[in-house]
């Protein structure tokens, strides 16, 4: 599985350390909230809202440089819209890797 990185954040921030820290702070605050929202919606079989939460999480996936994972999330989002949980375990593995990485920032 590909590993998250902070290359995009570094590129975005350039030499502005304050901006970089702000982006990281937002990630640390929002990612657990968005993961919890996803878990609540998928746990209650609310696939429409689960698809919305996956859509929102795709932004974090791309910020963390997970290109292949982005496409998995995109396909999983479409599956949820069709009431299918195909790719759920792969997506949840991505979330775990992301959370572990963000916790180290």
Return the domain boundaries, the chain: 7-104
* Dihedral sign of CA atoms 104, 26, 65, 68 in order: positive
Mean pLDDT, to the nearest integer, of 12-34? 95
CA distance 39 to 26: 20
Please tell me the predicted confidence (pLDDT) of residue 52.
97
Question: Rounded to a whole number, what is the distance in angstroms from the first to the last CA of the chain?
Answer: 20
- pLDDT average, residue stretch 15-20: 95
Please, where are the H alpha helices in the chain? Answer: 7-13, 17-43, 47-63, 67-81, 88-104
Average pLDDT for the chain: 96
| Cα(103)–Cα(83) distance, integer angstroms | 32
What pLDDT shows up at residue 1?
Answer: 77
Model confidence over 31-49: pLDDT tens digits? 999 999 999 999 999 999 9
This prediction has a pTM of 0.93
- Report the alpha-carbon distance of residue 93 to residue 1 in Å, rounded: 9
């Amino acid at each position: 599985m590909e590993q998250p990185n902070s290359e995009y954040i570094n590129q975005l921030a350039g030499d502005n350390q304050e901006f970089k820290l702000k982006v990281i702070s937002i990630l640390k605050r929002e990612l657990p909230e968005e993961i919890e929202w996803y878990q609540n919606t998928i746990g209650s079989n609310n696939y429409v809202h689960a698809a919305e939460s996956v859509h929102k999480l795709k932004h974090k996936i791309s910020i963390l440089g997970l290109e292949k994972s982005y496409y998995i999330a995109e396909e999983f989002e479409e599956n949820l819209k069709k009431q299918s949980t195909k790719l759920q375990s792969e997506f949840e593995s991505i979330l775990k890797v992301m959370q572990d990485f963000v916790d180290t920032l």
